[in-house]
C-alpha cells in the first residue's frame, strides 16, 4: 500500500529540540504529556480557557491544560499557546496558530518535494512587525484553509488538512456530491483523539484543480458531521503536470 507523506517542523520548544507534525486542520498546537514532561513540565495555566477537553472528528482529547511556549524555528523566535493532552498517545501537532510567524514558509516546496522536515533560512529583522503578528495570533482563533475543486464540473469546497494523509467526507457531503457509488475499502482511520472513524467505503471523484484533471480517492465516513477534507493524497495531483503530465491515480487504501 502507498503511504502518503506526513510533514514535520523541526524546531525548539522551550529550548528543547522537538519535531511537530504540521497540521493545518487544527488551531492551537497540541502535545502529549510525554513530550510535556520531556521539555521540563512547564506550568499549565488556563488563560481564561477552562475547557478540560478538545474535540476531534470522532471524539474528545482530554486536556491537562495549556501554556505559552517559547518557540524557535530557523532563527524565528516567537511565543505561541500550546495545549497539553492528558494522553500519552496523542500526536504532537503544530497548528494554524503558529503559521503567522512562519512568514517565509515555502508552501510550494512543502507540496511538491515531499520533504519530511521543513526548514527556513529566514531571520527576523523587524521585531515590531513580528510582535504584531504574535499579538494577532494569540488574540483570535484561526479558521481552516479551504480549497475549491471542480467535481464533475461543479464547485465543491474542501478543507485543506496537512495532518490527514487521506481525503474523507461524511454522509452530508457525500449527498452534496450526488451520492456517488461507494465501494468497499479495507482500511481504518483514526482521529486526533485516537478514536476510529467509521468508514462506509470509498469512491473516486473526477476533479479539476488549477487546470489539472485527476481522480481523487475519497473515503466516506458513516457520520453526518465530518466535513469534506483534502488530505496529503491530494498533493500528487498537483504534481501531475510537472512530473508525468497525466492524471494521478491513487489508492484509497493508503495508510493514515
Residue-wise pLDDT for 165-182, tens only, equals 889 999 999 999 999 999
| pLDDT recorded at residue 52 | 52
Q: What is the mean pLDDT of the chain?
A: 75
115 has pLDDT over 50: no
| pLDDT recorded at residue 246 | 28
Q: How far apart are CA 164 and CA 244, in angstroms?
A: 24
| pLDDT recorded at residue 78 | 85
Domains of the chain (ranges; CATH) run: 8-139 (2.40.70.10), 146-242 (2.40.70.10)
SS (H, E, C) the chain: CCECCCCEEEEEECCEEEEEEECCCCCCCEEEHHHHHHCCCCCCECCCCCCCEEECCCCEEEEEEEEEEEEEECCEEEEEEEEEECCCCCCCEECHHHHHHCCCCCHHHHHHHCCCEECCCCCCCCHHHHHHHHHHHHHCCCCCCEEEEEECCEEEEEEECCCCCCCEECHHHHHHCCCCCCECCCCCEECCCCCEECEEEEEEEEEEECCEEEEEEEEEECCCCCCCEECHHHHHHHHHHHCCCCCCCCCCCCEC
Of the candidate ranges 114-123, 143-152, 211-220, 232-241, the one whose mean pLDDT is the lowest? 114-123
Quote the Cα angle for 21-24-30, to 5°: 50
99 has pLDDT over 70: yes
Beta bridge partners of 94: 22
pLDDT top residue among 141 and 6: 6
Amino acid at each position: 500500500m502507498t503511504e502518503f507523506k506526513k510533514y514535520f517542523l523541526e524546531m525548539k520548544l522551550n529550548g528543547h529540540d522537538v519535531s511537530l507534525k504540521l497540521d493545518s486542520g487544527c488551531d492551537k498546537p497540541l502535545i502529549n504529556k510525554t513530550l510535556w514532561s520531556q521539555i521540563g513540565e512547564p506550568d499549565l495555566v488556563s488563560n481564561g480557557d477552562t475547557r478540560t477537553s478538545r474535540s476531534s472528528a470522532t471524539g474528545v482529547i482530554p486536556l491537562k491544560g495549556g501554556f505559552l511556549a517559547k518557540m524557535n524555528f530557523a532563527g524565528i523566535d516567537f511565543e505561541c499557546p500550546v495545549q497539553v493532552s492528558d494522553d500519552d498517545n496523542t500526536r504532537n501537532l503544530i497548528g494554524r496558530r503558529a503559521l503567522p510567524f512562519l512568514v517565509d514558509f515555502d508552501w510550494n516546496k512543502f507540496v511538491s518535494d515531499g520533504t519530511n522536515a521543513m526548514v527556513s533560512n529566514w531571520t527576523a529583522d523587524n521585531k515590531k512587525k513580528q510582535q504584531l503578528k504574535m499579538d494577532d495570533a494569540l488574540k483570535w482563533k484561526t479558521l481552516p484553509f479551504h480549497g475549491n475543486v471542480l467535481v464533475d464540473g461543479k464547485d465543491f469546497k474542501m478543507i485543506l488538512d496537512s495532518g490527514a494523509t487521506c481525503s474523507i467526507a461524511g454522509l452530508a457531503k457525500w449527498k452534496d456530491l450526488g451520492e456517488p457509488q461507494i465501494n468497499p475499502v479495507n482500511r481504518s482511520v483514526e482521529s486526533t483523539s485516537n478514536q476510529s472513524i467509521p468508514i462506509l467505503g470509498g469512491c473516486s471523484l473526477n476533479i479539476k484543480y488549477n487546470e489539472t484533471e485527476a481522480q481523487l480517492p475519497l473515503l466516506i465516513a458513516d457520520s453526518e458531521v465530518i466535513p469534506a477534507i483534502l488530505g496529503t493524497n491530494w498533493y500528487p495531483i498537483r504534481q501531475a503536470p510537472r512530473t508525468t503530465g497525466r492524471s494521478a491515480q491513487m489508492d484509497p487504501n493508503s495508510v493514515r
